[in-house]
Amino acid sequence: MSAHALKVPTKRRRVPPRVPLAHGSTLAQIASLALWPLALIAFIHKTFVTPFNGPETDDFTTVISALYRFREGIPVYNEQYWQVDPHYLYSPGATLLLSPLAWLPEQDASRMAYIVLNAIAVVCACGLLTKLFDLPLSSPVFPGSVWLLFNTESLQNTLAFSNINGLLLFLEVVFLWGLLRRHPWLGGIALGLAITIKPQFAPLLVLPLFKKQWATFVPAVGIPLSLNLAAWPMMTSPEDFFTKLMPYLAETRDYANNSITGMAAYFGWSEGMTWFWRIFGALVVGTALFLLLQWRHTEELFWATTTTSLILIGVFLLSSLGQMYYTMLALPMFFTILLRRSVMHNPMTWLGMYFCLTLDSWKSEEFEWFGYTMENVRGTIGWALIMLSATTMIVVWTVKEKPWTKPSPSTQVHKPSRQPYPRSYQDEN
């Protein structure tokens, strides 16, 4: 009898067949199906529920009251600036720009329109960033970014306090679109409107400067100048802006202020210690921005979005007033996680994001002092972690790649690296 005849057949293990994902759908499509309802319900809740639950701060009443005074010919800057109530901080040009809100029939209608407009602007900013990163709106990135952003302290308080940060984020993204898509007039108009409302956006003019997009400067500088000149004769006692408001803005308040000077006022730092940390912060920011210039031609999407966000975070830290809900304006840098090179590929950056953006409250009845202090300083900690980790990564890349040994960008042809990571998703779409 042969050996083959004596061999006892063994029972083979059955392997269950693999079930296709939703009849052949890709993982990205499944993620989109899951994220869209989450994004929609977050939008509804933060836009139509949270702002009407009696927020602790009401910025809109301050704004609309000033706009009513402007409409009725009453001095706009006539507030008691020594009080801790929210104050109207906009220039005459911004007052003229926002004045249509005062012509709506009721204050409640104006506030509702203001909140909805800011919420829609945030969604549009997320969609525009998705397209800027060469991804279709059908990708999970769009609803995912909306859902995540609408579950942050920054967005929730922007809408609950009825602030204008949503519109400013949209203008910032339009500026980046104009810069990167070679539409300098569009970018300049968006930046000019943003500067009119918040002059803190003025440092972003360095981006078109280094890209030599001179046309951007015409509307970016002309719009704020024109609006302020036009508003001046229309306003009663416009000189109060310089004699009353500007001195107040030059002071540092010790509440709801996450800037370095705000922390100094809160903890009672000496002047020398305050200047030490401000100079140190300026050196960190300056180092990052200077070294980022090496990628302005080869990886301009990474350069523009990261530079914009780091400039704004630097302004928040180094100016006299930095409020934690400003962090949403750094959204373009957060999107760079989709790129092969990104300061978001670092756990410390994400830890900083947590401190700045989380809805978690650190207030504690058991550890009262620690909890109260942590809640007041976590924005500063978050911005500092983001800035330090980003600068460290940029320095490490520079040392490893040694750009000073490479040919000048003007002597070689570059193909901008705008391909999101990974390639596989975009290839299949």
State the DSSP string of 33-62.
Answer: HHHHHHHHHHHHHHHHTGGGS--S--HHHH
pLDDT band at 107 (very low <50, low <70, confident <90, very high): confident
For 262-300, the pLDDT digits (tens) are: 999 999 999 999 999 999 999 999 999 999 999 999 999
149 neighbors 155 (Cβ within 8 angstroms): yes
State the DSSP string of 5-34.
Answer: HHPPPPPPPP-PPPPPTTTT--HHHHHHHH
Q: Is the pLDDT of residue 125 over 90?
A: yes
Residue 425's CB is within 10 A of a number of other CB atoms, namely 18
- Measured between alpha carbons, how far is 154 from 107 in angstroms, rounded to an integer? 24
For 239-262, the pLDDT digits (tens) are: 999 998 898 888 888 788 899 999
Average pLDDT of span 162-190: 97
Structure tokens at 209: 């400067």
User: Is residue 103 classed as helix, strand or coil in its secondary structure?
Assistant: helix
For 374-401, the pLDDT digits (tens) are: 999 999 999 999 999 999 999 999 999 8
Q: Is the pLDDT of residue 22 over 90?
A: no
Average pLDDT, the chain: 88
Q: Whole-prediction pTM value?
A: 0.88
**What pLDDT score does 429 carry?**
38
Which range is most confident: 28-37, 108-117, 198-207? 198-207
Q: Is the pLDDT of residue 352 over 80?
A: yes
Which has the minimum average pLDDT: 5-19, 116-130, 161-175, 315-329?
Answer: 5-19
**What pLDDT score does 24 carry?**
44
For 410-428, the pLDDT digits (tens) are: 555 444 444 444 443 344 4
- Measured between alpha carbons, how far is 424 from 414 in angstroms, rounded to an integer? 23
- Measured between alpha carbons, how far is 326 from 229 in angstroms, rounded to an integer? 28
Residue 177's CB is within 10 A of a number of other CB atoms, namely 18
Average pLDDT of span 117-140: 96
Nearest to 173 by CA among 347, 328, 337: 328
**What pLDDT score does 79 carry?**
81
Percent of the chain topping pLDDT 90 = 71
- Measured between alpha carbons, how far is 192 from 175 in angstroms, rounded to an integer? 9
- Measured between alpha carbons, how far is 357 from 329 in angstroms, rounded to an integer? 11
**What pLDDT score does 108 carry?**
87
pLDDT band at 408 (very low <50, low <70, confident <90, very high): low
Percent of the chain topping pLDDT 70 = 87
Label residue 116 exposed, middle or buried (CB < 10 Å: 0-12, 13-18, 19+). middle
- CA separation (Å) from 77 to 61, 67, 341? 15, 11, 47
Side chain identity at residue 238, one-letter code = P
341 neighbors 168 (Cβ within 8 angstroms): no
Residues in Cβ contact with 140 at an 8 Å cutoff, skipping those fewer than 6 apart: 28, 31, 32, 35
**What pLDDT score does 41 carry?**
97
